Each structure stands twice: as structure tokens, then as C-alpha cells.
Amino acid sequence: MPDLGQLPSTLRAHSRWRTLAGVPALVVTPERRASIGAPMLLWMHGRTAHKELDPGRYLRLLRAGIGVVALDLPGHGERLDERLSTGKATLEIVERMVAEIDPVTDAALADGQFDPESLAIGGFSAGGMATLVRLCRPHRFRAAIVEATTGDWSFQRGREMYDEPRVLRMEPISHLHEWRPVPLLILHAERDEWVNVEGQRSFVRALHAHGVPEDLIEFRTFEQTGAPGEHIGFGRHAAEAKDLGVEFLARRLLGP
């Protein structure tokens, strides 16, 4: 089990590790709001990362009164599998993670610490892909955040991650018939070398063509971040990206 000592003290006091429906999770729980639980963000990291990697995000959410259930993707963190850390396994990871989202959410809600009417979902890169796939099926989430990811996988053709059978089964832009419009925040770097921002622009156009109101989608890009590959963590804009995400969730889940 990871060491809680690696987390900032305030975050550590409100965090615990749990296994939810077989999935290792870092659970961050704010103080309860009256008789109901706190809003909750189900968060999924990107490939080659792990759930403890983003304490700045979790601390900001905690201070805003929003809980977090951060998951290790299949093959990552506490369930490390070197085969699943490769780019070739990306869509296998996404498919397996999508199947785990609902059982994990049910398990996280079981003790009453979180409000089942105030749930959000989100992720970075591969975690964002899992988020968008899940949103193409009936769900209970009220808001979503995706970062450095894409819903139009045709722009990834030619990369080792491109797995034609799984693309056909899951690609969000091709499965919008069950998309239920919810507020969606999209963050991306204009020069992302791993996930082309034009793929996400294409996906947003498809959402609007499908009837999703423009005011439900907030799309923010950063011109140059200095991050590795202009992809990992948004570099010099990392703090701004986290602040944007917390403000969005506070507005959508907590209200005025």
C-alpha cells in the first residue's frame, strides 16, 4: 500500500486508501454537508501515472468541499503490469476501466459519505478517453472534466494505440446516440504531440451537431505549456488548469 506520508498534511488528514469493487482507490472526503454527503469526482489518471500523482488537484477539491475517488488504471499503480504500461495497450486499458466505473461508483457511495445526486467524472489522457466512452452510455453523472484527451480517435490513427476492433466498439464520436448532455469542461494544449487537439475539436463539433447546447461545453486550450510532449500535466499552466477544474465543478455541483 502507498504511504500516506507522501501527501500534504491537510490532504492526508482527509484521505484513505480503499479497494472499491477490486480497484485500488485514493478516497478524499471533505466534511459532510448537513445530512447529505459531499459532491464527488471520480478521477482517472493517464497512462504510466498513478492515482497519488496529483495531490494539488485533490487538495483544491477538498478545500472547495468536493470529494475525490481517484483510481489506478488497469496495470498501473497498485496493480502494476508492465504490459499495460505500453502505448499499444492504451485502448485495452480504457475498455477495462470503463467496465469498472459503475461498480466502483456504487462501492464509493455505499457508506453515505458522498451525495449520489452530485457526481462528476473525469480523467487525463487515457483516463479522459475512459470518461468520454462512459458518457456515451446511460449514466448518473452531473458533470465531467477531460484533459489532454480526445473523443475522435481517427486523429490517433497510425499510433501504436490504434486498435481497430476496440475503436469500432468504443470510439465516442461514433457512439453519440446515447450521449446525455451534461456540463463538460475540456482542457488541452494546442501543441500536444501525443493527442492532437484537432481530434477534440472534431469531437466537440460532433457533440454540437448531435444537439448538445453550446453552453454545456467549456473548451479551453493553452498555447504553449513547456510540459513533456506538450501533453503531461500542462507544464507552466498546471495550477491554472487545476483551478479551472475546481471552479467548474464548484459551479456545476455546489451551485451559487
Per-block mean pLDDT, blocks of 10 residues, the chain (256 long): 74 94 96 79 95 95 96 95 91 98 97 94 97 97 98 95 95 95 97 96 97 96 95 94 97 85
Q: pLDDT at position 85, please?
A: 86
Question: Of the candidates 114, 253, 246, 124, which has an alpha carbon nearest to the alpha carbon of residue 183?
Answer: 253
Q: pLDDT at position 5, please?
A: 61
End-to-end CA distance of the chain: 39
67-71 and 23-28: which strand pairing? antiparallel
Q: pLDDT at position 65, please?
A: 95
- Which ranges of 73-156 does DSSP label H, i.e. alpha helix? 90-109, 126-135
Q: pLDDT at position 166, please?
A: 97
Backbone torsions φ then ψ of 42, nearest 5 degrees: -85, 115
Q: pLDDT at position 6, please?
A: 76
Q: How many CB atoms lie within 10 A of CB 27?
A: 19
Q: pLDDT at position 256, please?
A: 62
Full residue range of the structural domain in which residue 128 is found: 4-254
21, 47 contact by CB (below 8 A): no
Cα(30)–Cα(116) distance, integer angstroms: 15
Q: Which residues are within 8 A (CB) of 102 and not within 5 positions of it... i.e. 6 or more apart?
A: none
Q: At 87, which CATH number?
A: 3.40.50.1820
Split into its structural domains, the chain has a count of 1
Q: pLDDT at position 1, please?
A: 63
